[in-house]
Amino acid sequence: MTTDPAPVISLEHAEKHFGAVHALVDGDIELFGGEVHGLVGENGAGKSTLVKILAGVHRPDSGRLLLDGEEAIFDNAKQSQAAGIAIIFQEPTLFPDLTVAENIFVGVQPLKRFRRIDGRRMRREVSLLFEQLGVRLDPDRLARGLSIADQQLVEIAKALTTNARVIVMDEPTAALATNEVQRLFRIVHTLRARGNAVLFVSHRLEEIFEMCQRVTVMRDGRRVWTRPIDELTVPSVIRAMVGRDMDALFPKLPAEPGGVVLKLDRLTREGDFTDVSFVVRSGEIVALAGLVGAGRTEVARAIFGIDRWDAGSVEIDGRRLPPGSPSAAMSAGIGLVPEDRRQQGLVMDFSIERNIALASLDTVQRGGLIFRGAERSFARDWALRLQLKYARLSNPVWTLSGGNQQKTVLAKWLGRKPRLLIVDEPTRGIDVGTKAEVHRLLSELAAQGVAVLMISSELPEVLGMADRIVVLFEGRVTREFVRADADEDAIMRAATGVVEEAA
């Protein structure tokens, strides 16, 4: 590990309260130049609050922030940026109608005579910076339409043009494809070689072990410990995060498959998927596996009626569904937990109780009027069943952690008692402890006779939870595995179209 003799920045015994909520009780962290430092913990552990203190968004109620050994006070984000700290958020916010170069230099544009912006110099410096980072991106391209990965690259380049010494990456890989993650890792290695201090916040422990030299674990607003990565194992990190062993990360209950609930017969949507056929039985979890862009989410959207299919058929309990009709899909007993819970699964300004009851309004209304007491009772029942953690059910759903937002979407559909539940990336962006709870819920549903269709990009999740695995490649089914015959190598071969090697 190549580190400076003293930390670039350190936070000592920081506390932060929001009313009666103690978001940070004892926050401690030290970041060294030339080091990637991992920060892990369950949702609500205090990670985001710590990051926002470094960013100048929050000022700690007590404790000290030291920059090169000298105490520093940030009252706003601009002061933090001036001190050389840059935050790369999971979903960057760029000006869509400005070019890549203009976004990178926004507010600090180089000027020539008569205070005119020197566009040529901007483009030249951006091209040089991209070359140093080992990436290809046109400085003159508009930001509109850039992938999340390219937007993050622009944010990193922006940080380097302001000579940022500390770069904080908050869940940077949550929305990236595999090849984009690998490119980000190469960039992080470059930043480390340049002497930057990198704080890498992630729920994905395999990334922490691949990228980081030291790891800090937080739980309940406190630092549990900070240790070198070579002293750690995945079980030891999980144990520190949740305060207990997590042997049952994939608590798969035995379930006897029953009759066919969902049957797809040569389902086709031009440009998305072709001749997709498989069945899901009651009491069974079937996983749709494949690389990003293979057509998994598109198949789910077609089943639920969001998108119309061009050919083939969808049957629920032997009855054909009309194409492009979500109401018909819901009436047939289908529920859909979408990949993007914030944009597609929840109404973020609605209360927790309203979101839970949204798909079951017929049970909480009479004569076209929604009865508040019935709505609250309905929501409280499902919040209790799913062990939802909240302050008040009347609070907006955006006040919940990511894991509890995911549970809220699940509660919304479970309240309808579905015959088929489609879950798209059910544990994306949530912590290890909550992942185990979501897995438990899916397993219990299958044991109760619900048919579950699960889409997941995490192979351990697919192998740990699925009774059968259907693999897609470029919109076509390449292989189907039963649980006993599946392994990561075989699934990846099928997901990349190498079907001739399959046994």
Q: What are phi and psi of 181, to 5 degrees?
A: -65, -45
DSSP 105: T
129-155 burial string, b = 16+ CB within 10 Å, else e? bbeebebebebeebbeebebbbbbbbb
| In contact, 344 and 338? CB cutoff 8 Å | yes
pLDDT of residue 34: 93
Could you tell me the pLDDT band of residue 502, with boundaries at 50, 70 and 90? very low
Q: How far apart are CA 503 and CA 486, in angstroms?
A: 11
Q: Which whole-number Å values give the CA distances from 62 to 23, 27, 50, 434, in the listed order?
A: 13, 10, 13, 30
Q: How far apart are CA 315 and CA 154, in angstroms?
A: 46
Beta bridge partners, 166, equal 85, 197
In tens, the pLDDT along 415-432 reads 888 999 999 988 876 777
Could you tell me the pLDDT band of residue 90, with boundaries at 50, 70 and 90? low
pLDDT of residue 248: 60
Q: What percent of the chain has pLDDT over 70?
A: 94
DSSP 356: H
Predicted confidence (pLDDT) at residue 6 exceeds the cutoff of 90 = no
Q: What are phi and psi of 163, to 5 degrees?
A: 60, 40
| In contact, 172 and 87? CB cutoff 8 Å | no
- Answer whether 0.75 is exceeded by the pTM: no
Q: How far apart are CA 244 and CA 501, in angstroms?
A: 41
pLDDT of residue 1: 46
Provide the 10 A C-beta neighbour count for residue 470. 25
Helix (H) or strand (E) holding 9: strand 9-18
Provide the 10 A C-beta neighbour count for residue 279. 18
Q: How far apart are CA 73 and CA 66, in angstroms?
A: 9
Name the CATH superfamily for 248-333+418-503.
P-loop containing nucleotide triphosphate hydrolases (3.40.50.300)
Q: 9-94+146-242 with 248-333+418-503: one CATH topology? A: yes
Q: How far apart are CA 214 and CA 33, in angstroms?
A: 12
Q: How far apart are CA 462 and CA 256, in angstroms?
A: 19
DSSP 138: -
Residues 6+ apart with CB under 8 A from 12: 28, 63, 64, 65, 66
Q: Which of 181-185, 285-289, 326-330 has the lowest mean pLDDT?
A: 181-185
Dihedral angle, C-alpha 85, 197, 40, 237, nearest 10 ° = -170
Helix axes 178-193, 119-133, angle to 10 degrees: 100
Could you tell me the pLDDT band of residue 247, with boundaries at 50, 70 and 90? low
Residues 6+ apart with CB under 8 A from 381: none
Closest by CA position to 249, among listed 401, 98, 431 = 431
Predicted confidence (pLDDT) at residue 77 exceeds the cutoff of 60 = yes
- Mean pLDDT, the chain, rounded, equals 86
Name the CATH superfamily for 9-94+146-242.
P-loop containing nucleotide triphosphate hydrolases (3.40.50.300)
Q: Which residue has the higher pLDDT, 176 or 12?
A: 12
| In contact, 42 and 427? CB cutoff 8 Å | no
The dihedral through the CA atoms of 291, 489, 207, 388 has a sign that is: positive
Closest by CA position to 310, among listed 268, 264, 265, 263 = 268
DSSP string, 71-90: E---SSHHHHHHTTEEEE-S
Could you tell me the pLDDT band of residue 328, with boundaries at 50, 70 and 90? very high
- Residues 376-399 have a mean pLDDT of 88
Domain boundaries, the chain: 9-94+146-242, 248-333+418-503, 343-416
Structure tokens at 305: 């009626």
In tens, the pLDDT along 28-45 reads 999 999 999 999 987 678
pLDDT of residue 372: 81
pLDDT of residue 503: 41
| In contact, 490 and 502? CB cutoff 8 Å | yes
| In contact, 43 and 431? CB cutoff 8 Å | yes
> Which residue is associated with the tokens 């480390």?
192
Predicted confidence (pLDDT) at residue 383 exceeds the cutoff of 70 = yes
Could you tell me the pLDDT band of residue 91, with boundaries at 50, 70 and 90? low
Provide the 10 A C-beta neighbour count for residue 186. 12
Highest mean pLDDT among 105-119, 174-188, 318-332, 421-435: 318-332
Dihedral angle, C-alpha 251, 256, 262, 267, nearest 10 ° = 80
pLDDT of residue 323: 93
**Exposed, middle or buried: residue 467 (CB in 10 Å: 0-12, 13-18, 19+)?**
buried
Helix (H) or strand (E) holding 14: strand 9-18
| In contact, 33 and 8? CB cutoff 8 Å | yes
Predicted confidence (pLDDT) at residue 496 exceeds the cutoff of 90 = no
